[in-house]
Amino acid sequence: MATSALQSLANATVAFEIAGAGVVTDPETGNVYAAKSQVSYTAFLKATNVDPALFPGVDANGIVYEGYVINPQTLSPKIGIGSTGTLTFGSGQPVGFEMVRSRLGYGDTGVLGSILTDVLGTKITLLAKE
C-alpha cells in the first residue's frame, strides 16, 4: 500500500478500543467481561459543530471530527460505527469519542473505493464526548 497523500497533514492520533483475546474478571465484583486492546492510527481530522439535521438526537454542543486515517490507511475489521476510543491532537489531552461514520459510501473495496483508500486513507467521522 502506498503512502497517503495526506501524510504531511497528519494532526491527530486516534486510539480505538477493540475486543482483545480472552476474558478478564473484575477483582472487586467478580464480573467477567471481554478483554480489550487498543489499536492506534495517525489521522488528518478537522473539527466542526454538530449539525442536528445530519445527526438527529445528538447533543448540539458536541464536536464532530471528520477526516482520514492515514497510517495505517485502512481500519481493522473490528472497528465500525459505535466504536469508541480516545483522540489526541499533538501534546493535548486525550478526548473520548464515538465513531458515527466510517468508510466512504462506496466502501474500501471495488475500483473506486480501493483507489481512494490507497491514495487518501479511510474516511472517518468521530463525535467527541467533551
Which residue segments constitute the domains of the chain, with CATH numbers given? Answer: 7-128 (2.40.10)
**Is residue 129 predicted with pLDDT exceeding 60?**
yes
Q: What is the pTM of this model?
A: 0.80
C-alpha–C-alpha distance, residues 72 and 2, integer Å: 10
C-alpha–C-alpha distance, residues 74 and 117, integer Å: 7
**Is residue 1 predicted with pLDDT exceeding 60?**
no
State the pLDDT at residue 94.
93
How far, rounded to the nearest angstrom, does the alpha carbon of residue 52 sit from its chain's CA centroid?
21
Q: How confident is the prediction for the chain on average, in pLDDT?
A: 84
State the pLDDT at residue 29.
94
Among the listed ranges 26-30, 35-39, 46-50, 57-61, which one has the minimum average pLDDT value?
57-61
C-alpha–C-alpha distance, residues 52 and 15, integer Å: 26
C-alpha–C-alpha distance, residues 34 and 114, integer Å: 32
Instruction: Report which of residues 51 and 14 the model is more confident about.
Output: 14
Instruction: Report which of residues 114 and 46 the model is more confident about.
Output: 46
How many CB atoms within 10 Å of residue 42? 19
